[in-house]
Every structure is written in C-alpha cells, then in structure tokens.
Structure 1
C-alpha cells in the first residue's frame, strides 16, 4: 500500500487515477503533476520510488484540494446568495442553476443544489 495525504492506494493502481481520486484534481491537473515529476501516465503506484512519493505528497499539500476546495465552492455559493444574484437564489431554492428545463426533470438538481437555508 502506498500512503499519500491520508489515503492508501494499492500498488497496482495507476498514478493518474490515484491523483484524480482527490477532490478538485481532474485529468488535466493530474497530467500536469505527472509531467512535472516525469512519471509515465501508465505508471503504477508500486513502481514509484519513495523519493517521488514524498515529492508528490509535498506537491499535493501545496495545492487547493479536498476540504479546502469544497470550502471555496461553498463560499462562492454563499457569496452569490448574499449579493442576491439569480444564480444564488436558484441555489437557495434547490433549483437548476444553469438554465435547465424545470418542467419535468429537476430531481437531480433538487438533490444536488441543496444549500442550508440559514441567513
């Protein structure tokens, strides 16, 4: 098992997929990190030397991922609600925010756009 930022990864897991498992770290950002440390995109976690793993851990700790990224998204939504924008009101009501049709299919939006109604 390889340990990076509180997560255990199996030795056979691809490094690219392991990086993408972190919140707010998508395909482009993971490819950029792999290129920075000269890691092949098809490399597996077990094939990385310990020095590279510590470098990856240091790189990820300096990025805005996981709880920090979630907090930034929630702060952005709260800011939209506070200034009273259309998008903020839609978030507060739990309705689709980006212009989707609300006549028939809004169950997913109602589930995903729930924000606490305090304040």
Structure 2
C-alpha cells in the first residue's frame, strides 16, 4: 500500500487512475503530472520510487483538490445565491443552470445536476 495525501492506494493500481481518484484531477491533469515526474503511462503505483512519490505529493499539496475544491465550488454557488443572480436561483431550485431545455427533459436534468446546494 502506498500512502498519498491521506489515501492508501494498492500497489497494483495504475498511477494515472490513482491520480484521477482525487476530486478535481482528470485525465489531462493526470497526464501532465506524470509527464512532469517522468512516469510512464502504464506504470503502477508499486513501481514508483520513494522520491517520485514524495515529489508527486508535494505537487498535489500545492493544487486545489479534494475538500478545498469542494468548499470553493460551494462558496461560489452560495455567492451566486446571495447576490440574487439567475444562476444562483437556478441552483437553489435544483434546475439546470447552463441553459439546458426544461420543457421535456427536466427529470433527466435534475438527476444529472444533483449537487449538495443547501446552505
């Protein structure tokens, strides 16, 4: 088991998928981090050296991910609601925010747009 930023990863897990396990890191950012630390795309967590793990941890700690990013998103939604913006009102009503059609696909839209928006 390899311990990265408070999360244990199996040694058989691919590095790219392990990085994408963090909230706020997708495939593109994962590839960028791996390229910066000279890690092959098929490398597994168990094959990393201790120096690579430490340098990856230091880079991840400087990024806005996990709880910090969730808090930032909720603060942005709360700000929109407080100023009375159209997007803020749509968030408050659990309706689509970005101009999606609501006449016929509202059930799908509300299912897909479920985010914890209560404050």
State the TM-score, normalized to the length of structure 1: 0.90
Q: Which residue of 1 aligns with 2:51?
A: 51
Does the aligned pair in 2 maintain the 1:12–1:46 contact within 8 Å? Answer: yes
Residue 28 of structure 1: CA displacement?
A: 1.2
Determine if the alignment matches structure 1 residue 70 to structure 2 residue 65.
Answer: no
RMSD of aligned alpha carbons:
1.5
Moved over 4 A (4+): none
Could you tell me whether the CA contact under 8 Å between 1:15 and 1:41 is conserved in 2?
A: yes
Tell me the CA shift for residue 27 of structure 1.
1.1
Aligned in 2, Cα 1:113/1:45: closer, same or farther, shift over 3 Å?
A: closer
For 1:40, what is the secondary structure of its paired residue?
A: coil
Task: Give the distance between the partners of 2:115 and 2:62, measured in 1 at CA.
Answer: 29
TM-score, scaled to structure 2: 0.90
For residues 63 and 114 of structure 1, the distance between their equivalents in structure 2, rounded to whole angstroms, comes to: 23
Deviation at 1:22, TM superposition (A): 0.1
Gap regions ≥5 residues in structure 2: none
